[in-house]
Amino acid sequence: MENLTYPLTSIHVTSAQAHRAEILENPLQTYLLGIIISICGNVLISISLNIQKYAHLRQAQRCSKPYYTSVIWWCGVILMGVGELGNFAAYGFAPASLIAPLGCVSVIASAVISVVFLKETVRASDIVGGTLAITGTYVLVTFAPRTSTHITADLIQYYVVSWHFLLYLFIEVIVFCILLYLYKRRNVKHIVIVMLLVALLASLTVISVKAVSGMITESINGHLQLIYPIFHVMLVVMVASCAFQIKFLNQAMKMFDATEVVPVNFVFFTTSAIIAGIVFYQEFEDLALLNIFMFLLGCLLSFLGVFLIARNRPKIKQQDRNFIAMDQIPGRRHTDQEKPEAKTSTYGSLAAKLMCNRAGQTGDS
């Protein structure tokens, strides 16, 4: 009986050691590749946003065909797709706790591009915020965990049934249900409530995106992972969490100003992604306390930088100043059309609101 027990124990210990060896493997080349792909993807996203913004501005000035008929607008959409694909691929090469904070690169690049090409005014807060964000990015990249894990179906299954993830998932479900009850039943329309719902979904998105991306990468390298059921489970979780995340984010954009939503969403999303990486992928395991402190400091500097860049941007509510009260115009009792028709594709959208704000700035200047 003792001879039977010994082999079983040895097999269990060997399996755990194999998982641990796989987690601790650290090819620097793969790690740097993930960082470069993420940065390039975020830069492409910022370029695409400014191209779409330019298409909206030109369409608003000329009052021509709808924006979706513009070749320039479609170029921006294609660039955004390429950038998002780059971010997706980056999760397969570098830790999730590092890729998520690099999203501030998109904010910095967007601010620079809008000043150079769209001739927007440079503010002191933009310079200070950009400096803080760049410094924070350098610090967190320098001190981030450098474990580059080979994501396999067996490893994902091993992580899914771990007790710390199950506890984390249980707590997240309870908190999500409470927030959803306050938001839907109690009608608590506070930005923190909505953005926390987005962040909780984002943590599942990050976990599933890294799992799917990693398994696709391993399959391309010759180790087929797409036939395992866990791949399809993670793919469903990724699509579902992304869909509901976009839904709540759009609701937040309708209720609150973009200058509030952008920095709060970045902070909450990055925090949830870091926690997900720590709990599920154990990315901070054996990381020195100094590295953890400096990494968190880099994240804090990035948060402050994004907040300063987004602070005091033109608010959506300011678009009312673009319309003149009809009782102040002699001989006119009504207008032909005071606002876009609700059936148009741009009415109520974030892009249309941002374009109105920008048009208001141009008119004032």
Q: Which tens digits make up the pLDDT trace of 306-345?
A: 999 987 665 434 344 344 444 444 454 444 444 444 444 4
User: End-to-end CA distance of the chain, in Å?
Assistant: 88
User: Which of the four pLDDT bands, split at 50, 70 and 90, describes residue 260?
Assistant: confident
**Distance set, CA 175 to CA 99, 182, 206 (Å):** 25, 11, 18
Rounded to whole angstroms, the Cα distance separating 316 from 256 reads 9
Residue showing tokens 């610090």? 139
Confidence (pLDDT) at 347: 42
Residues in the chain: 365
Least confident span in 96-110, 122-136, 331-345: 331-345
Percent of all residues in the chain with a pLDDT value above 90, rounded to a whole number = 49
**Distance set, CA 174 to CA 108, 177, 178, 360 (Å):** 36, 5, 6, 44
Tally Cβ neighbours within 10 Å of residue 114: 20
CB 315 within 8 A of CB 242: no
Confidence (pLDDT) at 248: 93
Q: Out of 230-234, 249-253, 359-363, give the one with best mean pLDDT.
A: 230-234
Rounded to whole angstroms, the Cα distance separating 295 from 129 reads 18
Least confident span in 14-23, 131-140, 192-201, 291-300: 14-23
CB 156 within 8 A of CB 234: yes
SS3 assignment, position 338:
coil
CB 360 within 8 A of CB 319: yes
Least confident span in 78-92, 102-116, 324-338: 324-338
User: Which of the four pLDDT bands, split at 50, 70 and 90, describes residue 134?
Assistant: very high
Average pLDDT over residues 69-98: 89
Confidence (pLDDT) at 313: 61
The two structure tokens encoding residue 176: 């999500």
